[in-house]
Structure 1
Amino acid sequence: MASESSGKPRLEELERAECLRLIAPGGVGRVAYDDGEGPTVVPVNYAVDGESVIFRTSVSGRLNRSLRTAVMGGDVRAAFEVDHLDETTRQGWSVLLRGGAHRLSDEERDAAVRVDPWPGDEREAWFRLSAAEVSGRRLRGG
C-alpha cells in the first residue's frame, strides 16, 4: 500500500509574518466584497503598507460604490487574496487578508504608498484594507 507522502505535494499553514512577506512586492490581487447582489471578487493592482493593502478603482465603478460608506473613514468588511501558483510543479502559495476597507481621504491618499493601476482609464478612488486576520497556505513538493 502506497503512503500518502509518495511524491504528492504537502499543504502547510503559513505564519502571519510569512504571509505579509509574500505579498510585500505588490502586484495584482483580488478584492472580495458583497455588492448588494451577493459575493463578488475583482482583480486590482495593490501595494502593501504595513499590514494593510492599498488599491485604486474608478469612482463610477461598482467596487467604489460598494466599499464607500456614509461615514468618512468608516470600514466595510472585505477580503483580499493573492496567490502564486506554478502549474508545472504543482507548488505555490495563497494569502488571505480579512478586515475593514475604507476610502482614503485626500490627506491619507497623499501619505499612502503609490499604486499604479494597469488599466488606462482613471482610478481616482483609493482604498485601504486593514488586515484584522491574515492567513495563508503553501503547497510544497512531496
Structure 2
Amino acid sequence: MPVAITSPHDRFASLVGEWKGSGYVEPNPWGPSGVTTCTWHFRLGHGGCYLIGDFSDRREGGFRFDAHTVLTVDPLTKDLLWFWFDTYGFPPLEPYRGRWQGAVLDVEKRTPRGAGRARLTLDAEGFGFDLAPVSRTPL
C-alpha cells in the first residue's frame, strides 16, 4: 500500500528550492575549520513522500564537502528520518531521527563514530542550518 502523506510530510514543501548562506565550521576530525559558503537544493520525491536534498560546502583553500540527503517520515512513529550520503564516504548506518519543533527540524543520530545533531530552521527570518557533534565518544 502506498505511503499516506501525513502532516510531517506537508512541511517538506516549504523547504523546496535553493538556499544559500555562509557560516563557520569548527575544528573537526574530517576537514579544515574556517569560513564556509553553503548551498542547499531541495526537491520533493515520489509524490511528496521524500524531501531530497543536495548540499554543497566550500571553504578556503579549495576544500569541498558535498552531501546527498533523503528526508522521510517513519510511518509507525511519525519521526522524521534523515539519511546522509556524503563525500566523507561513511555509509548511513543510522539516519538522523527527530521531529519538527515549531519552525525547527531537530534531529539526532548515533553511530560508532559518535553522536551528532542537525537543525534546519525555516521562519520569517529565513533558512538556517546547523550540524554539530553531540559527542565524539562512540556509542
Common fold, TM-score beyond 0.5?
no
Q: Which has the higher strand share?
A: 2
User: TM-score when scaled to structure 1?
Assistant: 0.29
Structure of higher RCO (CA pairs closer than 8 Å, 6+ residues apart): 1
